[in-house]
Amino acid sequence: MAMSSGRGVHESDGMEDVFLALAAHRGGYVFRHDLIDYGLRDRDIRAAVRAGHLTRLRHGTYAPTSLVTPLSPEAKHVLIAYSVLDKLGPGVALSHHSAALVHTPQSFGVDLDIVHVTQLSGRHGRKEAGVVFHVGDTTEDDLVEVDGRLVVAPARAAFESACRSSTESGMVTMGAMMHDGKVAREELEQLGATWERWPGSRHARIAIRLADGRSESVGESRSLFMFWREGVPRPEMQVIIRTEDGRHVARSDFAWLLYRHTGEFDGLFKYGRLNSYANDPGLAITEEKKREDLVRSLMLGMSRWTWAGLDEKRRGRTARDIMLGLEQSKRLYTRNATYIPLFV
């Protein structure tokens, strides 16, 4: 990539290192004026973008492509949100979805193209250039500092986000924060009572009631929403399956104890906290087959579903299949059963 600039930079050799150094100074991104101050011209910046050395995050804001490419959509949103906050300066804090994503990397169904900030000065709310400016009754107790920036505290961020999204989305955010110990259900319930007249608060309060901190993924939280929405009995979560002599067989995402039935969102039982063979699909399948055979030998039925089965157009069918499995397991395994090898 040829460049012409006030600093006499004519070759691309070393420019990627320059971009990385400039971005590191700001925490992962660089403003246009940083590049201009270094000696580049707008045509140089455009050339760097075309060559794949820089990625445009928003107007006047860039990041080294090598840093942006590995980021999840949620992490990329946080990077952009930080750049917005830094440009706006004092008097604003990240809020709503943007603050929630600072506190947890898990989300579903939120608009990641919009950055949300709350103005601490009480000015009128507005929306401009992909940023929504909120006005709220925010005190110091509602704010925390993360990476040197003001961010709405976890509980309030989760509630704000849930008010502006679906119940399912709110469950994902709240479940993730509860799982990580960022919030307690009691905190969320108190906010729900305090702000019961907020627009969207009904969705948020339902999400509080349905969210579960034992959920370990977006898919598990969405599965809980599917059970509620489609009338499937609410199961226990992260249930340990053992043999009669107490030997650990597997850990199931969901278990309907009275039906002697288990459920797996991603299709695989877990041994311990993580799948030890995640990097060896063949061995994972072999070990999974052994666990499945052992689970079935303990007179336990099972249902499996994947991300596609949670789609709004397909979740009704998924739920019906689960219900059929529950009834079948109840008929086959609860009659004359003398023990239940499940321990929550």
Give tens-digit pLDDT for 148-202: 999 999 999 999 999 999 999 999 999 999 999 999 999 999 999 999 889 999 9
Band of the pLDDT at 245, cuts 50, 70, 90? confident
310: left (phi over 0), alpha (psi -120 to 50) or beta: alpha
The amino acid at residue 134 is: H
pLDDT of residue 79: 98
Q: Which two tokens stand for residue 342?
A: 């499940």
Band of the pLDDT at 248, cuts 50, 70, 90? confident
Closest CA to 300 of 329, 268, 271, 339: 329
Query: Taking the domains of the chain in order of start, what are their residue ranges?
Result: 15-68, 73-213, 219-343
Least confident stretch, 45-59, 253-267, 289-303:
289-303
pLDDT of residue 296: 76
Q: Which two tokens stand for residue 12?
A: 């691309």
pLDDT of residue 84: 97
Q: Once rounded to an integer, what is the mean pLDDT over residues 230-250?
A: 90
Domain 15-68 coded CATH 1.10.10: yes
Q: Where do we find the tokens 């689970």?
A: 295
pTM exceeding the 0.75 threshold for the entire prediction: yes
Give tens-digit pLDDT for 87-120: 998 889 999 999 999 999 999 999 999 999 999 8
Closest CA to 97 of 172, 161, 170: 161
The answer for residues whose C-beta is within 8 angstroms of residue 301's C-beta and 6 or more apart is 259, 260, 261, 262, 325, 326, 328, 329, 332, 333
Q: Which two tokens stand for residue 53?
A: 């050395």
Give tens-digit pLDDT for 1-58: 444 444 444 455 578 889 999 999 999 999 999 999 999 999 999 999 999 999 999 9
**How long a stretch of residues is the chain?**
344
pLDDT of residue 2: 40
pLDDT of residue 292: 75
d(CA 289, CA 341): 19
* 337, pLDDT greater than 70: no
CA atoms within 13 A on the CB side of 169: 21
CB 175 within 8 A of CB 221: yes
In this prediction, what percent of the chain has a pLDDT beyond 90?
A: 70
Pairing type for strands 92-94 and 115-119 reads: antiparallel
Task: Give the DSSP H or E segment for 238.
Answer: strand 236-242
d(CA 10, CA 249): 63
Q: Once rounded to an integer, what is the mean pLDDT over residues 63-67?
A: 96
